[in-house]
Amino acid sequence: MITRYNSTQDAVPHEENLLILTKSGGCYGQDFTDIVQEIRDGIHGDKLLIQEYFHSLDNLVDRDKLIQNSVWIIHWQECLENEPYPHLKHYLETRSYPNEGEIILCVNGSDKAETVGSRYPRVSVAPSKEYLVAYALGHLNTANPACSGGTKKVIEWNNEVCDELGVP
């Protein structure tokens, strides 16, 4: 369970789960575990601990569990293309996730990325693994307690989630 950060010391180290929404466990011809390792290898400093978290697609109504993850990696073709998960579509269209969160939709190819990006203008759309890694690292190295500005972002995100969950 998430706890409120009352000081900068509470945010160091910060443990972060990358929420991965997929049926297959892979994208861009690679397993998500390998992609997360590449992201983990690109993190600056040692004060941010990264793990992958595969959330059940059958339980997308559990918003309280979902919003505790600041980075959502979503396999477009499996989770949104034919709208098999309306709750997920609702989260993205209403932006009902914390402000400091980063949502990354994984699609294949630039043409598809442009189409998807116009449908969901508030999220990042990754047409390749390289873009996915870059978007994730951009977010995680900015919201990283290895620097004072990053610690502030981590605290703001964490406490916003606590407010939404009613955590004192």
Taking all residues of the chain, what is their mean pLDDT, rounded to a whole number? 94
| Domain-embedded: residue 139 | yes
- Domain hosting 42: range is 15-24+35-165
Residue 98 has pLDDT above 90, yes or no: no
| Domain-embedded: residue 30 | no
| Domain-embedded: residue 105 | yes
CATH for 40: 3.40.50
Residue 84 has pLDDT above 90, yes or no: yes
| Domain-embedded: residue 142 | yes
What are 84's two structure tokens? 């098999």
If one counts the domains in the chain, the total is 1
Residue 97 has pLDDT above 90, yes or no: no
pLDDT tens string 125-165: 999 999 999 999 999 999 999 998 999 999 999 999 999 99
Phi, psi of 102 (to 5 degrees): -125, 120
| Domain-embedded: residue 64 | yes
Q: Tell which phi-psi region holds residue 17, choosing left (phi > 0), alpha (psi between -120 and 50) or beta.
A: beta
